[in-house]
Amino acid sequence: MDVVSTLKAQHRMLGEIVERLGGHLAHGDAVRVRVTLEELRRALRAHLELEEARFYPLLQDSPLADTAQLRPLAQSLDALAERYGTGDFDAERFAADFNAVTRGLLARLDSEEAVLFPLYDRLVGKSGLFRRVA
Over residues 42-100, the pLDDT tens digits come to 999 999 999 888 888 777 766 666 656 678 888 999 999 899 888 888 999 999 999 99
Structural domain contains residue 119: yes
| Cα(102)–Cα(49) distance, integer angstroms | 19
Q: What's the number of domains the chain is made of? A: 1
Q: Which residues contact 34 (CB under 8 A, 6 or more apart)?
A: 81, 84, 85, 89
Side-chain half-sphere exposure of 78, counting CA atoms within 13 A: 8
Angle between helices 91-111 and 70-84 (to 10 degrees): 160
* pTM assigned to the model: 0.84
d(CA 38, CA 81): 7
Could you tell me if residue 133 is inside a domain?
Answer: no
Give the residue numbers spanning the domain of 78.
Answer: 3-124
CA-CA distance, 128 to 134, in Å (whole number)?
Answer: 18
CA–CA gap between residue 52 and residue 45 (Å, rounded): 10
Average pLDDT, the chain: 86
In a domain, 134, yes or no: no
Considering the domain boundaries, does residue 82 fall inside one? yes
- Decide if 97 is inside a domain: yes
Residue 35 scores a pLDDT above 70:
yes
What is the helix (H) or strand (E) element at residue 123, kind and residue range?
helix 117-124
What band does 106 get if pLDDT is binned at 50, 70 and 90? Answer: very high
Q: Is the pLDDT of residue 128 over 60?
A: no
Question: Does the residue 103 lie in any domain?
Answer: yes
